[in-house]
Structure 1
Amino acid sequence: MTKSGYPYPPDEFDVAVPGGAPVGVHRAPRSGWSSAWPFLLVAVVCAAVAWGGITLLSGDGGGAEASGDPSTSASAPASPSASASGESSGEPSGEPSGEPSGESSEEAPSSVTGDPAKADLTAGVQVLNSGGPTGAAGTAAETIIAAGFTGTVDAADDTAGLGQGYTETTVLYGATRADTAAAVAQAIGATSAIESAEVTSSPYAVIVIIK
């Protein structure tokens, strides 16, 4: 470029140095776009990276939720079926097993050995209340009479203590009076009949101890 075509005023860069070359040269000013495009490029790259990260994270979360929902919904029906099976199996096993108890099916052993059909209904019978409710002796005496006994049937309290040692209503009878004792026991529902020497020596064929 010639001196006449140089557009800049002379300055320290135009001073000649040994050899004839100038110290420096002027450059045309840079445009605004050339200064801004690097920053725009960086902003675009950062935005793209951020969008990709958000998309990746949201995709993983959706997959986790999708995979979690079926597992919970599939496991939920298992609990009702288990509870239903537990209830249905628990009810039948509990109630029927408790019903057949020994008390209802087994009867108390009976010591009555005589034959009520051969009883002497004219024999005397005494009923003693030895710890039973008030009036129990009289009630039992009436029951014996209603069963067909026509002999003497007395009711009294056990003042002599004949019923000591007995824990249930017992029919005591004298020798050869087992059949008559069986008829008395049948009338009042007693299950114990015992031969007693004291009854043999008494004016009664049968003495009932009410407990």
Structure 2
Amino acid sequence: MSKSHYSYPPDEFDVRGPEGTPVGVHREPRSGWSSVWPFLLIVVVCGGLAVGIVSFLSDDGDPATPPAAEQSAGAGTEEPEASASADAEEPPADGEASEAPADDEPSDDASDAATELPGDASAANLEASVVVYNDGAGSGQAAAGQGVLTSDGGFVDVAATDAPDTLQGAYEETTVLYGADRADTASAVAEALGVDPANVQESDDVTASEQAVWVVLKTPVG
């Protein structure tokens, strides 16, 4: 048997066994890289999987969180509404608040009209009949009123007496009642006795009577 070309270097497998046969067969020598690259491949694959899992979990953990740009835009749109609410709730300045009720104040003309006598006292009929009724003013006050109207007012037909039942307690303040077309005379009576113009009133009862003016005294004269 001829020897063929032997391409492998001598090693432990060239040693013959007890029966003269080789212990093993030769295999082609392997480089260092061929032994290492499977481990490197496993490391790369595992690293990629780890990165992918971490990225997936981080995205799922907070899906409702908007990007920073969207948050900034949202904040910008809310500020005008808050500002508008603040402007709507801001109370008016002191000057504005004090000026608002000015329209409700009565004018001087209206106030004067409320305190004016109903007629012209200088045009009074001094011969008209006047009665002074004492309704709780005190003893002798009807006569005192009669004297004032005669001496100070110039009236010539003045009577003094106690108030009848129909007038007792009917008024809280001294009041001058006059008949139709007797406003001038009633104004002169009120001036002489110092009666408040607001208490000078026209009365149907006086119109139906023989007198021109009734005076209901509630307080002492003078």
State the TM-score, normalized to the length of structure 1: 0.50
State the TM-score, normalized to the length of structure 2: 0.48
